[in-house]
Structure 1
Amino acid sequence: MNRPWPLVQRQREFDTLTAALTSATGACGVVLTGDAGVGKTTLARVATQSIPGEVRWVAGTESARSIPLGVFAHLVGSSTARDPVAFMSAAREALLGTSGRVVIGVDDAHLLDQLSATFLHQLAIDRAVHIVATVRSGESTPDAVTSLWKDGHLTRLELRPFTRDQSVTFIESVLGGPLEGLSAKLMWEASGGNALFLHHLVEGALEAGTLREQRGVWQLRGRAAITSELASLLEDRIDQLSPEVIRVLELLTFCQPLALGTLGDLAGEDAVEEAEQRGLVRIVEDGPKIEVHYSHPMFSEVVRRRVGRAAARRLRGNLVEALQATPPTTPSDRIRLAELALDSDQTPDIDLLLTASKDAIAFSNVPLGERLAKAAVDRDGGFRAANLLARSQLWQGRAADADAALARFDPDSLDESELVRWGATRVANLFWAAGDADAAHAVLDEVTQRVQSPIAVAVVRGVGATCAVFENRLDEGLAEAESVLAEASTVPWAEEWGMFAASMALAVGGRGQRVADLAARGDAVRNQVDGLTRYPAAMGPVLASVFTGEFDAAAQRAQRYLDEAAATGQYLSWGQANILHAPVDIARGRFADAARRLEQALAALTVGDSGSALAWIFPVYPYLAQAYSVLGRVSDATAVLAAGQERYGRHVAVFGPMFEIGKAWEAAGRGETSRAITTARAAAECAREAGQFAVEAMALHLATRLGDKTTSARLAELADVCDGRFVALAAAQAAAFSAGDGDELSRVSGEFEQMGALLDAADAAAQAAVAFANADRRRDSLDAGATANALAQRSDHASTPAVLEAARPLPLTSREREIASMVAVGLSNREIADRLVVSVRTVEGHIYRACTKLDVADRNGLADSLRTRR
């Protein structure tokens, strides 16, 4: 592909290099060392092009290594070729006879013949020229070249691989769009930050179709691919290896890491030692385990391309036989053995396939779990295989496939244990993946009537409790969940569902302090159920900490889940973990971070035209709408809310009040403060009816920040109901705002800032500025306004109605300012009248008075005046 690849800035190295090549004192140049492909030659050539004078480049090669003064031969005539002294003298005269400054560039100086190395060394000693040379790390280098930096003639500068941030910049500048964070991690690890490898990895993945764009985000899905060009370069190195060492690499290609003893038995201990000496593999000791890894993942891809299908199946079969000598005891060992057996010339054991599929799903690797379960189904694995297949498919948003896998089983033919698993999986699939609450309840009722044992009943009740909470029947769901959790014989599945329901209900209900104990209990069982369940189940504990104002605790929990997801390399878990971070980012005023995370999460969890596990995705919509609105991306917020509205239903009703809060932020972003306040109060009423008192407080707090002076009484009541400091501060702000108490608003602003709620603090400070101005305390008003502006700047330059009014006050009434803001975003008088439910004549009157006060001629002038003050 013909894509322009940028030069990643290495400013420190560039400055060191150019300084050494232009200085008349000290070292007369630089030796750049580093691994092959790290960018030594590119940096050297860019640096030499930036300085005055003539630059002459030579390059060491294996073929010229046996020719005395081979790389400089083109500088002298053939008559002196038999006399080394005359040869060097002629080369020196040819170089120094050139007028002006001369810089000698030597690429791959480790490949110089001895005479060329000696000649270069003499030039450096005499300071006759400036020199820049590149040397590949780990290669045998002539003594004369090594002494260039050891004796201080040249400065040695080691060029390291790109950092992760540099790699992302490198890739995004070529792709022309953002790269998914998980994909960036995988590509950086696969390339080792090596510029050449990274270049060819991207090109290869684009050619193979494994690097593609989804919702504006570039994602790597599948194994990293490389170009045939890079494969040829690496194959040259592999071709020099003995067959025994190549076998070491082949075995590691299909099973990495391998125990040192196992690999030694299969390939020979001497071959493993030689592979390590050549830097092809590395030995990692982890307690009693000693394992062998590839030194660089790219070699694995090259070796894979060299092995035919039949040979690959045979090699995997050899690995299966070796690994079966010691029965696997860990999930990772079982998964590896099952995957190898499935692709080998051995017959895979059905029990191994089933156990490994369950392990893969527990580790969030549902695509692999599906593959192993499908193989078990094809080998008559029965209900257990079908259930695992359905569980893996529902998490990937393939609700119809999942239901079809289980629908062929008659409940009457299942024992009670199977019936519970059949029912739980079908309910989860119908309710959360398909969004069909009615069908889910029909299955739930059917199973409830059939089960009798306490354990089976507990699991079914736990699933039902979570459904109730998601349907916003909080009291019913919480009571059922607490009953399940109180039973001594509760199994992990029942506990997981019970804690899922209870923590969510308690969090939105304002009883966040009780959630901490539940979260700790949940941590003890979360590895015993579907791995992806842990992420939506963690939303309750994260929200509980946010609603109580414990942002650090919320961030630590969310980050722990994100780190775990990144370690698995699974995009579904990574996407869901990013959703967990959104409430924390929003609360702290990190709106750009929230938008970036949620955009990538939505792209990662989107399958086709729908979403993967739609209910788990839904929190993206209100939070992303808020982030966009505050950042001034109102049209994007509108689009996100429209997409969320299409996916809203009974199965996500618990998020309904939050979704209405997102709508209020979007209205505020458009300058429609009356509609924003009305929407926020409607969200509060909806939350109140459901018992979501923490969410009600958030909605009323937003109404206060938008200018509503009627919220203080209810917020005072909620401060006695809800745990933590946040609601108490919201109530204090509402009371102070209603009373016009600038001093109290300033105090509240400081408390919010100390908590970490920067934009909340900015709005409180902004309201303090207005209160001080109304009290003719101009100096205090200016100070509070400056504080509000500074806090808003720290919140990603966020914009809210309160901050705008305090930063650039206008001689307008609140209604005149609102109508002027709507004019500024392009609404007609009729549209404004319809939205405010007033007559067009009333709108025209407000516009006339606003124009008079601002001394502008018409609507256009009014709009321009508002825009310049935003």
Structure 2
Amino acid sequence: MAHVVVDDPDRSGVLITGGAGVGKSYLARHLVDEHERAGGAARRVYASTFSGELPLGAVAAGFSPSDAYTGVAPTLTIKRALEAEAGPTMILVDDIDQLDDASAAVLVEVADAGLASLVLTARSGARVPPPIERALVAESIVAIECPDLDEAATAELVRVRLGAEVAPATARTVYEVTCGNPLYVRELLEAARSDGMLRAGPTGTELTGIPGASTRLVDLLERRLRSLSPPERDALRYIAVVGPISHGVLLSFVEPELLESLEERGLVSTVLDGRRLMIGTAHPLHGEILRAIESPLGVRTIRSRVAERVVALGMRRGDDRFRLATWSLDGIVAVAPEVLTEATLMAKTANDFELGPRLASAAVDAEPNVANIRNLAHLQYHAGRWDELRATLDDWHAVVDSDRDRAEFEELRVTGWYWHGADDAPLLELAATLDSWPEGEVRDELGASVASLLITHGRITDAVDLAERLRDLPPGVAAVRVAMTLGHGWRSQGKPLAAARLVADALDFYRSFGPDVFALSDSVMAGVRIQALADAGEFAEVDRIVAESADRWSDSGDASNVALAKLAHGWSWYLRGEYDRAEQLAAEAETAFATVHHSGMIRWAIILQALAASQRHDPNDAAKLLSLIDSRPDHPARIFDPYLARARGWVAHRKGFPDDARAAFVAGFDAATDGGSVIAALGCAHDLCRIGRADTAAELLAQLDLTELEGRYPQCQQRHIGAAVDGDVDALTDVVDQFVSLGAPHLAAEAATDAARSPAATARDRRRLLQRAAEVSTGDSGGVDQLAAQVGLTRREHDVVALAALGLTSREAADRLSISRRTVETHLGNAYQKLGVNDRLGLLERLRPST
């Protein structure tokens, strides 16, 4: 089966799973060895506790530093390295539960590109890195279970291990004690042999007792290790504490015959990686036990000795350099400044904002040059360490000596002051003086950054004008910012479909380079696209994107970026009148923004919560949220301030203050038009129509240029205002149908009520229209409660379906309900069967209002 999978050109690889010691590693190595004997290229990636501590640490062990640690785009460089191989490459990764997520993403990417076939192993129930888990779901990687042995196979294994026939009673005892686990069998027999518990009997070798009081593997292994000589144990300590170590380094501390003895005992394994022989513990549990019983001082002493030897040998491998750079932070070893810089770049590339600032700070202390200070500033910014960033920016300014460096300094200074300092003065100053910079690439990149901030500032026209002048930038971070600026800008200007197409094209283009190129965040770009599609009323496409991508976003590692996608999804539910869903997603986004101290984006999330809460009949929750906003410091990211005015208007309306409501909606309209946001202005005008002030809405609408207005949703809003001010029953009836078709039954019910109130409506019209209003407002087939009653969902199935409808992944739903992920998926599967659907997309179709 494994042979078939790895040879299948439509598959990216195979994952061999099973309990500890079932032989999955042996099978994986056998596949790779056969591939090499047939002339194929092979790479071996070491996943260990230590590589997992370093961003892309595992990949570094299988590729040279020049391949894996460019500090910009490891996926591209590794692709190029694999393309240079003479034949198809097979990559072995043992124990992927210790594989860092960044390495996993790179490996899946190159395998999906057809440049390699992955052979992976994992203990049953162990953590599977999210990129590999997604590949398993997509079936590009196939999982094969390597089960424990049955009684007959266990007896045969005992016979082979002992090299003699085995008494039936002994074979049965071994099976009962080990449950058929090959590693348990081996450890039990070795312990029994060491203790003299094996003897010849009339029907074969007999086991006279069980070594030790416990039959658990740890107990057996502990007993076995105690039989080692002190030099053997010391040798094993070095291997366990340091992780996979080269034979050349290890020979500085261990005699060759000791290694041979440990290998004969099955305690260490050797693998030839390129031209270097790597030695590691034969099983992860060996290392775990030895590290657990080693004192902190012992660990430090061993690592210090190994570090000295690696430094003396020149740190030729990438994993050596990064391991030592990390150890240097604890004072174990001193490394050259360039090693710290190299490690900093890798941490930055992998978005490791815990290790990264520590490495960067050490690099600055060792060599305070522009590059190191810049890296530290960027990492502090992304880690939300605002006070530390202020001091670093002062240091950076003192050493800037070129236009390129000055531009990068200005960009981070302006961005830092804007987001973390809530101060727009540096941004506006830079925007006003941008033309004074020399023409060329540096100014264009700086302009792209300015435009991306101006759009969040709510200055839509200025931002779009600047971004449109920069549309021809070459691929890179600046071009991504231009695409995002135009996406938000065109959406705000009433062209949401054009905005969605622009962002979709940009996403497709940059995804072709790999997931980490240009620090492109899939969730950020997708969030802009979702919001544009939602504003256009394309809710089915919104749900499709979320259903396909939610797991990928949640594993991206950047809380604020994932929160932006959730916020956009929440906005789509608000437009559909699903206010509870909108409020919940916005609350989750607020929590995520708070983890990275993004006060401006926290404000956005609270605004959406307040707007959603204000639409419900009890305005008190919304009023509390508005008070929370008022109690917080102001922030220059004001793109959503017109929606804040809308929330205030709805609270006033619900509390019975019509004049205050009108004033709030007009204020929101004025703020939107001042900034150039047609969509936000139209929303304020439509709110006036919805509270019975269609005349005021029409007056405001006359101030907008709607000749290029795109999207069914905004066009329906415009038609609703026009039909309401005219009292046109037929036109309002058409609006009802259009809102129902869009999936906005709450607005359809309001339009039907408007039509029934029209002086032109006959008595028959009024009865028909009020009945229609009741049907669309209460006959919402998208309600989970109603579906549950229709098909007989259990309480738990109802809860799981409700969370899935909110866009939560199975993992998130499991955490919310305090059950396992597998249990969530079981309930989902049962619900799908009752609902007659196959997946989340089908579920969303059932939850969408009928048209």
Structure 2-normalised TM-score?
A: 0.55
Say yes or no: does 1:703 pair with 2:688.
yes
- CA offsets 1:551-601 (integer angstroms, 9 cap, x no match): 344445556775344224454444444334322332344433333333233
**Distance in structure 2 (CA, Å) of the matches to 1:389 and 1:507:** 36
Say yes or no: does 1:656 pair with 2:641.
yes
Give the counterpart of 2:401 among 414, 426, 433. Answer: 414
Q: Please give the secondary structure, in 1, of the residue aligned with 2:694.
A: coil
Over 3 Å counting, the alpha-carbon distance change for 1:532 and 1:499 in structure 2 is closer
The amino acid that maps onto 2:370 is F
Give the counterpart of 2:411 among 420, 424, 434. Answer: 424
Structure 1 residue 268, shift from structure 2 partner:
8.1
Give the counterpart of 2:538 among 536, 547, 550. Answer: 550
Structure 1 residue 386, shift from structure 2 partner:
1.9
Structure 1 residue 459, shift from structure 2 partner:
1.7
The amino acid that maps onto 1:701 is H
Structure 1 residue 779, shift from structure 2 partner:
5.0
Equivalence for 1:734: 721
- Whether contact under 8 Å (1:591, 1:627) holds in the other structure is yes
Equivalence for 2:779: 790
The amino acid that maps onto 1:658 is Y
Once the two structures are superposed, the pairs formed by residues 591-630 of structure 1 within 5 Å of their partners are: 591-606=579-594, 612-630=597-615
Q: Please give the secondary structure, in 2, of the residue aligned with 1:652.
A: coil
- CA offsets 1:51-107 (integer angstroms, 9 cap, x no match): xxxxxxxxxxxxxxxxxxxxxxxxxxxxxxxxxxxxxxxxxxxxxxxxxxxxxxxxx
The amino acid that maps onto 1:582 is G
Equivalence for 1:752: 739
- CA offsets 1:337-395 (integer angstroms, 9 cap, x no match): 75466558444453343344344334433333222212212222422222222222223
Once the two structures are superposed, the pairs formed by residues 29-178 of structure 1 within 5 Å of their partners are: none
The amino acid that maps onto 1:353 is L
- CA offsets 1:579-629 (integer angstroms, 9 cap, x no match): 34322332344433333333233223326xxx7232333321221112333
Say yes or no: does 1:507 pair with 2:491.
yes
Equivalence for 1:454: 440
Structure 1 residue 494, shift from structure 2 partner:
2.4
Equivalence for 1:563: 551
**Cα RMSD, aligned residues only:** 5.3
Equivalence for 1:239: 222
**Distance in structure 2 (CA, Å) of the matches to 1:631 and 1:301:** 55
Give the counterpart of 1:353 among 322, 326, 340. Answer: 340
**Distance in structure 1 (CA, Å) of the matches to 2:260 and 2:568:** 48
Structure 1 residue 427, shift from structure 2 partner:
0.9
Structure 1 residue 495, shift from structure 2 partner:
1.8
Structure 1 residue 429, shift from structure 2 partner:
0.4
Over 3 Å counting, the alpha-carbon distance change for 1:784 and 1:464 in structure 2 is closer
- CA offsets 1:512-537 (integer angstroms, 9 cap, x no match): 23322245336655967884877556
Give the counterpart of 1:521 among 485, 490, 506. Answer: 506
Over 3 Å counting, the alpha-carbon distance change for 1:388 and 1:741 in structure 2 is same
Q: Please give the secondary structure, in 1, of the residue aligned with 2:494.
A: coil
Structure 1 residue 308, shift from structure 2 partner:
3.2
Give the counterpart of 2:295 among 308, 322, 325. Answer: 308
The amino acid that maps onto 1:545 is L
Structure 1 residue 443, shift from structure 2 partner:
6.2
- Whether contact under 8 Å (1:762, 1:788) holds in the other structure is yes
Over 3 Å counting, the alpha-carbon distance change for 1:776 and 1:500 in structure 2 is closer
The amino acid that maps onto 2:443 is V
Structure 1 residue 434, shift from structure 2 partner:
0.9
Over 3 Å counting, the alpha-carbon distance change for 1:669 and 1:712 in structure 2 is same
The amino acid that maps onto 2:476 is P
Equivalence for 1:202: none
- Identity of aligned pairs, percent? 20
- Whether contact under 8 Å (1:364, 1:532) holds in the other structure is no
Q: Please give the secondary structure, in 1, of the residue aligned with 2:715.
A: helix
Structure 1 residue 402, shift from structure 2 partner:
0.9
Say yes or no: does 1:498 pair with 2:482.
yes
- Whether contact under 8 Å (2:528, 2:568) holds in the other structure is no
Over 3 Å counting, the alpha-carbon distance change for 1:141 and 1:649 in structure 2 is closer
Structure 1 residue 269, shift from structure 2 partner:
11
Over 3 Å counting, the alpha-carbon distance change for 1:497 and 1:783 in structure 2 is closer
Equivalence for 2:628: 643
- CA offsets 1:826-866 (integer angstroms, 9 cap, x no match): xxxxxxxxxxxxxxxxxxxxxxxxxxxxxxxxxxxxxxxxx
The amino acid that maps onto 2:357 is E
- Whether contact under 8 Å (1:394, 1:429) holds in the other structure is yes
- Whether contact under 8 Å (1:625, 1:638) holds in the other structure is yes
- Whether contact under 8 Å (2:593, 2:601) holds in the other structure is no
Structure 1 residue 659, shift from structure 2 partner:
2.0
**Distance in structure 2 (CA, Å) of the matches to 1:753 and 1:259:** 66
**Distance in structure 2 (CA, Å) of the matches to 1:291 and 1:747:** 75
Q: Please give the secondary structure, in 1, of the residue aligned with 2:629.
A: helix
**Distance in structure 1 (CA, Å) of the matches to 2:443 and 2:639:** 25
- Whether contact under 8 Å (2:419, 2:600) holds in the other structure is yes
**Distance in structure 2 (CA, Å) of the matches to 1:294 and 1:750:** 69
**Distance in structure 1 (CA, Å) of the matches to 2:670 and 2:221:** 70
Higher relative contact order (CA 8 A, sep 6+): 2
Structure 1 residue 299, shift from structure 2 partner:
11
Over 3 Å counting, the alpha-carbon distance change for 1:397 and 1:789 in structure 2 is same
- Whether contact under 8 Å (2:607, 2:643) holds in the other structure is yes
Say yes or no: does 1:684 pair with 2:669.
yes
Give the counterpart of 1:388 among 375, 400, 417. Answer: 375
Q: Please give the secondary structure, in 1, of the residue aligned with 2:780.
A: helix
- Whether contact under 8 Å (1:367, 1:392) holds in the other structure is no
Kindly name which structure, 1 or 2, has the bigger radius of gyration based on alpha carbons. 1
**Distance in structure 1 (CA, Å) of the matches to 2:614 and 2:220:** 55
Over 3 Å counting, the alpha-carbon distance change for 1:494 and 1:310 in structure 2 is same
- CA offsets 1:230-270 (integer angstroms, 9 cap, x no match): xxx99657635648999999978987xx8999999999899
Structure 1-normalised TM-score?
A: 0.54
Unaligned residue ranges in structure 2 (runs of 5+): 1-122, 127-169, 186-215, 272-277, 787-851
Over 3 Å counting, the alpha-carbon distance change for 1:522 and 1:675 in structure 2 is same
The amino acid that maps onto 1:597 is L
**Distance in structure 2 (CA, Å) of the matches to 1:448 and 1:294:** 64
- Whether contact under 8 Å (2:427, 2:450) holds in the other structure is no
Over 3 Å counting, the alpha-carbon distance change for 1:246 and 1:638 in structure 2 is farther
Q: Please give the secondary structure, in 1, of the residue aligned with 2:354.
A: helix
**Distance in structure 1 (CA, Å) of the matches to 2:321 and 2:475:** 24
Over 3 Å counting, the alpha-carbon distance change for 1:492 and 1:561 in structure 2 is farther
The amino acid that maps onto 1:676 is A
Structure 1 residue 767, shift from structure 2 partner:
4.4
Over 3 Å counting, the alpha-carbon distance change for 1:727 and 1:600 in structure 2 is closer
**Distance in structure 1 (CA, Å) of the matches to 2:665 and 2:282:** 56
Over 3 Å counting, the alpha-carbon distance change for 1:739 and 1:754 in structure 2 is same
**Distance in structure 2 (CA, Å) of the matches to 1:646 and 1:587:** 27
- Whether contact under 8 Å (2:573, 2:581) holds in the other structure is yes
The amino acid that maps onto 1:551 is F
The amino acid that maps onto 1:474 is I
Equivalence for 1:402: 389
- CA offsets 1:180-220 (integer angstroms, 9 cap, x no match): xxxxxxxxxxxxxxxxxxxxxxxxxxxxxxxxxxxxxxxxx
**Distance in structure 2 (CA, Å) of the matches to 1:303 and 1:442:** 60
Q: Please give the secondary structure, in 2, of the residue aligned with 1:239.
A: helix
